[in-house]
Amino acid sequence: MGFFDRLSRLLRANANAALSSVEDPGKILDQSVADMQSDLVKLRQAVATAIASQKRIQNQAEQSEAQAKTWYERAELALKKGEEDLAREALSRRKTYQDTATTLNTQLQSQAGQVEQLKKSLVALEGKIAEAKTKKDMLKARAQAAKAQEQLQSAVNGLGTNNAMAAFEQMEEKVQVLEARSQAAAELAGADLESQFAALQGGNDVDDELAALKTRLSGAPAPVALPAPEGPLPQLEPVKVAEVDADLEQLKRSIDKL
């Protein structure tokens, strides 16, 4: 295979691929029906022309036959009058018209066959156009549905690398990180509160021991210390300052009375 043959085939293949990629089935269907309609108009014109020609040939044949009959009658008249030469001339004219009529009738038969074939072709084309119009809308709907399905599938396949989906997943991960930090901060706050109460309890033990030592040295009976709570303190729900102000004031007054 020569270089130019291969190059020509390659160019034709690329051209066909380019045309296939830009073809719109809906537009192609509409154009196909329009082309068939144009062919139908041309065929109707051809049928009309053929029928008109048939009518004209038929009229000419009838006129020739009528002239042949007229010249035969004239030949009879001339012969009756003893005009043999005139009768011979009339019969010659009659033969000319008869030959013309015979030729025209032969053409008329051929023309009738052509007209009949054109009429059959016209009916067949009209049927094909009607069928094409019926199928066209259905094919266009199927093409649109297939195109929509293809676009939807492409969108679904592209979700994994889509920027919007990636951003959504990133924000979801960020929210999870923020929630984890919030839970950790809450746990640390609770642990800090426990340590504060433990320090207070530890301070009370030292103070009690100091008071007991002072009492022992002074000879007075040692005060009885309250037993320490067993196990860790229960988790305390945070309350508003306004809710404990009244309890705090009452506690202060009771301490002052001691």
So where are the chain's domains? 8-157, 165-219
| Residue of 115, 131, 112, 140 whose CA lies nearest to 47 | 115
Give the global pTM: 0.45
As to burial, measured by CB atoms within 10 angstroms (0-12 exposed, 13-18 middle, 19+ buried), residue 193 is middle
The pLDDT tens digits of the residues spanning 184-222 come to 777 766 666 666 666 666 555 666 777 777 777 776 555
122 near 44, Cβ under 8 Å?
A: yes
Distance CA(227)–CA(206), nearest Å, equals 14
DSSP for 154-191, please give it.
HHHHTTTT-HHHHHHHHHHHHHHHHHHHHHHHHHHHHH
Tokens 């009339």 — which residue?
A: 90
> DSSP assignment, residue 233?
P
Per-residue pLDDT of the chain (258 residues; tens, 9 = 90+): 565 566 566 666 665 555 555 567 778 888 888 888 888 899 899 889 989 999 999 999 999 999 999 999 999 999 998 899 999 999 999 999 999 999 999 999 988 888 899 889 889 988 988 888 888 888 878 877 877 887 777 766 665 555 666 777 777 888 888 888 777 777 766 666 666 666 666 555 666 777 777 777 776 555 554 455 555 545 555 555 556 566 667 766 776 665
Tokens 């509409």 — which residue?
A: 30
